[in-house]
Each structure stands twice: as C-alpha cells, then as structure tokens.
Amino acid sequence: VDLETCCGTPNLENGNRVKVLVDSERCQGHARCITFLPEVLETDDLGYSHVKGAGEVPPELEDRARRAVANCPEQAITTVDE
Ligand code: SF4
C-alpha cells in the first residue's frame, strides 16, 4: 500500500473505496464477470475483460464486484480496498 496515498485520502469518513483489477494474462474471455458488474467491466473486441476507467466500484455495487471475483474461473479479477 502506498502510505502517502492511503493516509492522504480525504474521504475516510465515507469508508474505503474499492477498485477492481483484471489480470489480462489470466483472463480467458468467457465474460462471466460482465454479467455481475457491467457498470465497471467491459469486454474488448476479442471478448477479454477489462475495467472501465480506473475500475472504481460505487459502494452500492461492492457486493456484485465480490461476486464477479468469486465467479471468475481464472482468478483473473481482484478487488483492492483503497
Ligand atoms: S470471468 Fe474472468 S476470465 Fe472470464 S472474462 Fe471475466 S475476467 Fe476474464
């Protein structure tokens, strides 16, 4: 964890922010994850998943983000709490 980023976060009262990461080397492109989290994940022309923008997950979508992680057969998706 980058301490400067961590400790400099101004919105701690709102709780941690969650980001989704997709490991492009693991992703096999079956797009299961998209069904759980289309707001944050999208596929490219070849069907491989990647995050939209910075991959930040709105608090109301965190449960679905964790389901996307749990349902990726390649363990290609991770979440990080910032
Ligand atoms: S479920 Fe996993 S392997 Fe399949 S497209 Fe999504 S990130 Fe890639």
Q: Digits of tens for pLDDT over the chain (82 positions)? A: 555 555 544 444 456 789 999 999 999 998 899 999 999 999 998 889 999 999 999 999 999 999 999 999 999 999 999 8
For residue 57 and ligand 1, the question of a CB distance below 6 A is answered with no
Whole-structure pTM value:
0.80
For residue 49 and ligand 1, the question of a CB distance below 6 A is answered with yes
Q: What is the pLDDT of residue 2?
A: 56
Tokens representing 72 are 């990726």
For residue 72 and ligand 1, the question of a CB distance below 6 A is answered with yes
Ligand 1 atom with least separation from CA of 31: 5
> For residue 76, what are the contacts with CB-CB under 8 A and spacing of at least 6?
22, 23, 24, 26, 27, 28, 49
Backbone angles phi, psi at 64, to 5 degrees: -70, -30
Q: What is the pLDDT of residue 72?
A: 96
